[in-house]
Amino acid sequence: MADELSALEKGGITLASLEGRDPLLVATLRYLCHRGVLRESGERFTLTDYGARVYADRGFLVWLVGGYGEPMRRIDAFLQRSMRYGSDVTRDGRWVAGGTAMMARTDVVPQVMETLAKISFGTVLDLGSGNARFLMAVCDRFGARGIGVDVDHAAHAAAGEAVAANHMQDRIELVRADVRALDEIPGIDKVDLVVTFYLLHEILAGGRDALLGYLTGLAARLPAGAKLLVGEIEPPIDGEPGQPFTPEFTYVHALVRQTLLPADGWRDVLTEGGFDVREIVRCRVPGGILLLCEKHEPVSRSR
């Protein structure tokens, strides 16, 4: 989170490069050596094999510790109802977004690109597009046009800067709006692919009927044959201890009053909401699933 370890990816950190720095940095690196994350050799700190595995999964740690560390320190107050999450204490959205981006880069995006390569589309709608980096990558790789929707002002501004810097203003339209307000999304009736990652469980927090209503409304506005790609996390499997990350992910979402569904649960609600689930893909991220769906074809009735 302090961005002091990024040099490890480029061959390590030398003692010479630390001259004039706070001695705590050297002490921190040596502490990580004691815990087997780093090794010190020839006045250089490098990752051990174990450290490389930890570092590869740093997105999980940033998401949990940076994003939800302060609320997790208040669990006692939440249990005693002397404090409430969301009003007295809330998450740090900057580190939630940063950790998620780190995870997605290696643990989700490759599988997403492989899945999208199996279908054809000309216009993609990204619900919860953030800084639009993923949307730009999709449009660039598949020659598509894009619409990105996000309600956060900072994310919308960052997306605008990124799109302009990459000279994609003629291909990508950015909309600052609540993704729940489908009527405020322009051109949705012309979209042939919708992508949304880790959004639907937030809508599910309002109850299954709320999610079902959202999916039904989305399906009604999309043209025939439109595809939907959903990214979600399954809850941990009962009786299987030692599962990485998913118990923490599930517990944090219980804290914020959000529920996770298993793959079959997502299949059921998506089907009921107007979409056929064509494929379920497992991601490298623990518990991660991608559900590739297609809008139901209308059933013709013979007279």
Phi, psi of 242 (to 5 degrees): 80, 15
CA distance 219 to 228: 9
Dihedral of CA atoms 140, 142, 147, 148 in degrees, nearest 10, equals -60
Closest Cα to residue 268, out of 193, 202, 191, 200?
200
Closest Cα to residue 141, out of 173, 169, 174, 119?
119
CA distance 236 to 54: 21
SS3 for 132-168, per residue? CHHHHHHHHHHCCEEEEEECCHHHHHHHHHHHHHCCC
Q: What is the pLDDT of residue 292?
A: 97
Q: Is the dihedral of CA 72, 76, 78, 82 positive or negative?
A: negative
Q: What is the pLDDT of residue 91?
A: 87
Q: Which residues of 240-261 are buried (b: 16+ CB within 10 A; e: fewer)?
A: eeeeebbebbbebbebeeeebb
In three-state secondary structure terms, 286 is: coil
CA 278 to chain centre: 22
Q: Which two tokens stand for residue 214?
A: 């959202």
Q: What is the pLDDT of residue 242?
A: 60
Per-residue pLDDT of the chain (303 residues; tens, 9 = 90+): 888 888 888 889 999 999 999 999 999 999 999 999 999 998 999 999 999 988 888 888 888 999 999 999 999 999 999 999 989 999 887 788 778 878 888 888 999 999 999 999 999 999 998 888 899 999 999 999 999 999 888 888 889 999 999 999 999 999 999 999 999 899 999 999 999 998 999 899 889 999 999 999 999 999 999 999 999 988 887 766 666 778 888 888 888 888 889 999 999 999 999 999 999 998 888 788 999 999 987 655 444
With a threshold of 0.85, does the pTM exceed it?
A: no
Q: What is the pLDDT of residue 250?
A: 86
Q: What is the pLDDT of residue 247?
A: 84
Q: What is the pLDDT of residue 303?
A: 44
In three-state secondary structure terms, 279 is: strand
Which residue in this structure is represented by tokens 């804290």? Answer: 255
